Amino acid sequence: MKNLLGTPFNIEGQDAFNLDTIILADFTKLPRNTKTILDFGTGAGALMFYLSLKNKTSKIIGIEIQEKRALLAKENIIHNHLEDRLSVLNEDIRNIKFEEVDFIICNPPFFKYQIDSNISKFEEQQIARHEIYLTLEDVIKKISECLKCKGQFSIIHRPSRLEEILRLFAKYNLVLKRLKFVYPKRRGEANHLLIQGGKGYELGLIIEPPLFVYENDTTHTEEMTSIYKGRSYSEDSK
């Protein structure tokens, strides 16, 4: 099928490509000198593809523990003729060894796993959404290990875990630089956090205006519509 920017992209599988992917990719700002990017939990490779449009020269490596999804990501790279810049490792993030990476992006599992958790019957979705193999601390620790000094990263998560995220940033010497709350509607509570941070930076946080997804049950806001149309890619390419 076609993705939102009109190029071939296979999204077979549960939760391989969704709203989280789109808004995280839009939110992410890549420094101009970014040479190497890691995508933790790349799934079908959608985030890698979007970042390849923001930076035309960087090498992007996706890390994916699920073999089926890793193979799907490799197929998508070939279909989009990006083999010279994009690649995929079928590995557990906890076991990878990288140093001096410029940028890391991650759409991690949001929910703690318990035996009595109400989780999907699909194994792929269970792993993607619940901390079965990868905890929040695993993600943040590995980001810190892999980033160079003055390297940056972006993640999406749940507002309910913001305090935990900040504690782990302090533990692993990471700094929060940009923060954006995402609301399903203009009335109600935020249900996502968009975060960009860095390693080796002074404290200094920018809280950006919130993103509202819907005006009502069926109509996207003007900002969300512009995100779907690929606003950040046309702006970054100017």
Average confidence (pLDDT) over 1-30: 68
Coil, strand or helix at 131: coil
Coil, strand or helix at 163: helix
β-partners of residue 197 are: 153, 176
- Residues shown for the chain: 238
Residue-wise pLDDT tens digits, 84-132: 999 999 999 999 999 999 999 999 886 565 544 455 444 455 545 545 6
Helix (H) or strand (E) run with residue 65 in it? none
pLDDT for 13: 43
pLDDT bin (cut points 50, 70, 90) of residue 236 is very low
Residue 131 tokens read as: 């901390």
131-163 burial: b if 16+ Cβ within 10 Å, else e: bbbbbbebbbbbbbebbeeebbbbbbbeeeebe
d(CA 70, CA 68): 6
Mean pLDDT rounded to a whole number for the chain: 86
Number of H helices and number of E strands within the chain? Answer: 8, 9
Domains of the chain and CATH, by start: 19-236 (3.40.50.150)
Residue-wise pLDDT tens digits, 181-231: 999 998 899 999 999 999 999 999 999 999 999 998 789 999 999 998 888
pLDDT at 6 over 70: no
pLDDT bin (cut points 50, 70, 90) of residue 232 is confident
Supply the DSSP string of 91-145, one letter for each residue: S-GGG----SEEEEEE----B---TT----SSHHHHHHHB-SS--HHHHHHHHHH
d(CA 131, CA 88): 22
Which residue did the predictor score with more confidence, 150 or 117? 150
Question: What φ, ψ does residue 38 adopt, rounded to 5°?
Answer: -110, 140
DSSP letter (8 states) at residue 95: G
Average confidence (pLDDT) over 44-63: 94
pLDDT for 109: 84
pLDDT bin (cut points 50, 70, 90) of residue 134 is confident
d(CA 35, CA 15): 29
